[in-house]
Amino acid sequence: MVTISKKKFKQSFETKMYSLYAQPIKDATNEQLLSVLCCVIKDIIAKRWIETNIDKEKEVYYFCIEFLLGRQLKSNLLNLDIEDSIRDGLKELGIELDDLINAETDPALGNGGLGRLAACFLDSMASLKINGHGYGIRYQNGLFEQKFVNGYQVEVPDNWLSQGAYFWETVRPNKAIVVKFEGEIELVKDNDRLKVKHKNYIPVMAMPYDIPIIGYHNDTINTLRLWKSEIQSRDFGQNTSNAKNYSGSYEDALAYKYYAEEISQVLYPNDSNYAGRLLRLKQEYFFTSAGIQDIIRKYRRTKQDIKSLQNKVAIHINDTHPTLCIPELMRILLDEEGLSWEEAWKITTNTISYTNHTIMAEAMEKWPIDMIKTLLPRIYMIIEEINRRYNLYLDDKYNDENKKQHMRIINWDNVNMANLCIVGSHSINGVAALHTKLLKKEVLRDFYEDKPEKFNNKTNGIAHRRWLMSSNPELSDLITDLIGDKWKKDTTRLKDLEKYKLNTSVLNRLDEIKHHNKEHLADFINNTYNVQVNPNSIFDVQIKRLHAYKRQLLNILNILDLYHELLENPNFDMQPRTFIFGAKAAPGYYLAKCIIKFINSVADKINNDPRVNEKIKIIFVENYGVSLAEKIIPAANIGEQISTTTKEASGTSNMKLMMNGAITLATLDGANVEIFEQVGEDNIILFGLSAQQVLDYNKYGGYSALDLYQSNRRIKRVVDDLINGFIPNMDSEGREIYNSLITYNDEYFVLRDMENYSEAQAKINKLYQRKEQWNRMSLMNIANSGIFSTDRTISEYAKDIWFKGCEINEKYI
């Protein structure tokens, strides 16, 4: 553990300020002060960062095309246990730590759940002392910044590097790697063997930028290595003699620069709809090839037999985006290490494991073979051979043509990436119990029946250090006052809180803290959006990407229904509510954007109607992301987890909200099922179709949205509002939503679940009035949230997947 005295800290801070900026502290901007502070912290950790890198045990490499880190300063200070001394030291220098915390950019190098999960995993791997490192892409532009203009989402490029640099990163030019695109493959005879020669390829340099990942109160400092794409410059001594020969013209040079730099320029802003864009495929190969080459280079330095790779290295691919790890590792083992196919295949499959994050067909990656063949000729040859051998296996084992079609890696001139992952890895996991069950029984049934031992569940989690300790310090302190601080390292201890469930003064304390958090959020909303909200109202929160299956539409239609009820009957018994939405839509997802416009328009109408103003407020926060989540979640009374059952693989905002004492209002989808199992039926509000009902409707039909609309007065009333001008300026967007519900028969069962949802909301209305019971539910949620720490998730990955059968596994049992 590091310690730093206040005196030493102040000295280092001043010295750094002079050497970096040659100016006195009093003249520095907050950004400059922050950069100095980051440098001082990096100095403090440098030695241990180096030491962690001297590998002693098996290492885990977590490949993910996005890492949604959030701000790092506060979380680093917490994990290093130096927040107090640094705060005091800064104060004596006339600097407020909180100003620097807020001056940090929030790197948005991810879309949502998947990228944030990857960030939580890094935190937990370091905190559990696992040598686990991340590999990803250093996008020049992260996820777009969202602005609302007349209620419409407008996307503004994110420019997180505008301060010139990211203060936590260290660039390592000596570790740059060349990634080869396009060109031709020649097989040359070399004695008895065929040697592979890649000619006329386009070399792109992958430049590593390392970010330290600091473990909680331990000496582990892992690395997140993000690759930036650059032109290959001659200085780096890698042999590229077969590279494409440019004529040397100015145009050529510019075209080449553009080709290289484009690759890490921007994060794709989709989180559910795969569009087969060439640039995306370049990104996928770029970071997987750089990462795999990096791993092998490091391994070679240990001088161990390449055949033992699996004993020293575990490679995890997060969803199918890094699938090309599989043929890339094969390529190196075959072409560079000279192994036989069988040897290479065994090492590859034993090293690689894969997580699936979705069952939605439209999100499944399928790449046209022509695209892969041209962009990655050698990789395509290897995929073809994997496919050929797998087809032999299938033909030998099965007669059912349909089944075999389904399982092929190359099918209809496309490479099915999920199938390649399943075949090329030793472990396939889903992200919540229900999701894994659906994979086994429905989506991947044929593969499961073929190799059941490969399949397993790893229910997601959240980093409780960020999502409770750091973002909700008051609650965190109360918990420690009540049960001591062992829960910080073992969150299952939160269960000890249950003994206070009848203790009125503890329940009141909990209520007070929630109220403080709500006041803070209300101030923020008032200052930022100029809307007054009442901290005594119920804060009802839905924060996640905007997608039809997540059903923000169900939420807003119900609000509209409440509005009508209130207008009809001003004495309608209703606890005041503040509905809070935060969501970005993929820029090309038109229906989602229409829903944003609709929510904003309804908000505009209701917030400005004095007849209901005391009862309902709607806030749609602009540019929802990690930093906003940290403000909103501690203040939530209700977490809306209302996806169409079967569609949400897990969800993770459900866990964050629960851990902060919100009551979950949910369908039995994703990890909501497990939340329900943890808290019991008294402490969660459920509604909606069951998974089986949804599966049956999808299989056999039997649902008519039109019938429902025609027969239910209240449903008809709100659906008509989409097109009758009741909500102003909604003409084409309202029609689009209306059509999705009525013309296209409500694919996500919004109307089908509407009545049931509204009953659940009415139940909440009643419950909230019994304050003590409500607070007890809140306490029970916190007390039973421990299992949802990523510390639990990661120790399961370690035990069952990465270190299975290894000596160090004992640590995780």
Q: Quick one: which of 785, 97, 223, 813 has its CA closest to 463? A: 785
Residue 396: HSE in the Cβ half-sphere, 13 Å Cα cutoff:
7
Judged by beta carbon, residue 152 or residue 549, the one nearer ligand 26Q is 549
Minimum distance from residue 266 beta carbon to ligand 26Q (Å): 11
Residues with Cβ within 8 Å of 490's Cβ and at least 6 positions away in sequence, in order, are 786, 791
Judged by beta carbon, residue 774 or residue 788, the one nearer ligand 26Q is 788
The reply to whether 656 belongs to the active site is: yes
Point out the catalytic residue in the list 464, 518, 597, 656.
Answer: 656
The shares of helix, strand and coil residues in the chain, as percent rounded to the nearest 5, are 55, 15, 30
Question: Burial of 616 by CB count in 10 Å (0-12 exposed, 13-18 middle, 19+ buried)?
Answer: buried
Point out the catalytic residue in the list 116, 180, 426, 545.
Answer: 545
Point out the catalytic residue in the list 58, 225, 282, 357.
Answer: 357
**What is the SS3 assignment for 750-761?**
HHHHHHHHHHHH
Helix (H, G, I), strand (E, B) or coil at 373: helix
- DSSP tag of 736: H
**Sequence-ordered strand ranges (E) for 642-781:** 663-666, 685-686
Token look-up 């400092």 returns 221
The reply to whether 42 belongs to the active site is: no
**Sequence-ordered strand ranges (E) for 412-532:** 414-416, 427-430, 455-457
Alpha-carbon distance of 488 to 293, in angstroms, equals 37
Minimum distance from residue 269 beta carbon to ligand 26Q (Å): 8
Minimum distance from residue 142 beta carbon to ligand 26Q (Å): 13
Number of residues that this document lists for the chain: 813
Alpha-carbon distance of 35 to 509, in angstroms, equals 38
Helix (H, G, I), strand (E, B) or coil at 203: strand
Judged by beta carbon, residue 216 or residue 274, the one nearer ligand 26Q is 274
The reply to whether 771 belongs to the active site is: no
Token look-up 């400005």 returns 608
Alpha-carbon distance of 726 to 716, in angstroms, equals 13
Angle, to 10 degrees, between the axis of helix 73-80 and the axis of helix 30-53? Answer: 50
Angle made by CA atoms 436, 442, 446, in degrees to the nearest 5 = 100
Judged by beta carbon, residue 224 or residue 510, the one nearer ligand 26Q is 224
- What's the token pair of residue 552? 């923000």
Point out the catalytic residue in the list 348, 644, 645, 652.
Answer: 652
Point out the catalytic residue in the list 282, 426, 544, 547.
Answer: 544
Minimum distance from residue 405 beta carbon to ligand 26Q (Å): 23
The reply to whether 544 belongs to the active site is: yes
CA distances from 274 to 400, 415, 424, 600, 666 (A): 29, 14, 22, 27, 27
The residues that touch ligand 26Q, with contacts defined as CB under 6 A, are 111-114, 117, 268, 270-272, 274, 280, 357-358, 363, 365, 431, 460, 648-652, 670
Judged by beta carbon, residue 169 or residue 271, the one nearer ligand 26Q is 271
Minimum distance from residue 360 beta carbon to ligand 26Q (Å): 8
Q: Which residue is closest to ligand 26Q by CB?
A: 113
Minimum distance from residue 339 beta carbon to ligand 26Q (Å): 31
Alpha-carbon distance of 451 to 419, in angstroms, equals 13
Judged by beta carbon, residue 289 or residue 646, the one nearer ligand 26Q is 646
Minimum distance from residue 264 beta carbon to ligand 26Q (Å): 15
Alpha-carbon distance of 312 to 530, in angstroms, equals 56
Phi, psi of 63 (to 5 degrees): -90, 125
Judged by beta carbon, residue 143 or residue 506, the one nearer ligand 26Q is 143
Judged by beta carbon, residue 222 or residue 358, the one nearer ligand 26Q is 358
Minimum distance from residue 363 beta carbon to ligand 26Q (Å): 5
Judged by beta carbon, residue 72 or residue 460, the one nearer ligand 26Q is 460
Residue 714 CB coordination number (10 Å): 16
Minimum distance from residue 663 beta carbon to ligand 26Q (Å): 20
* Strand 221-231 with 132-137, pairing: parallel
Point out the catalytic residue in the list 116, 550, 597, 615.
Answer: 550
Residues annotated catalytic, as ranges = 357, 544-545, 550, 652, 656
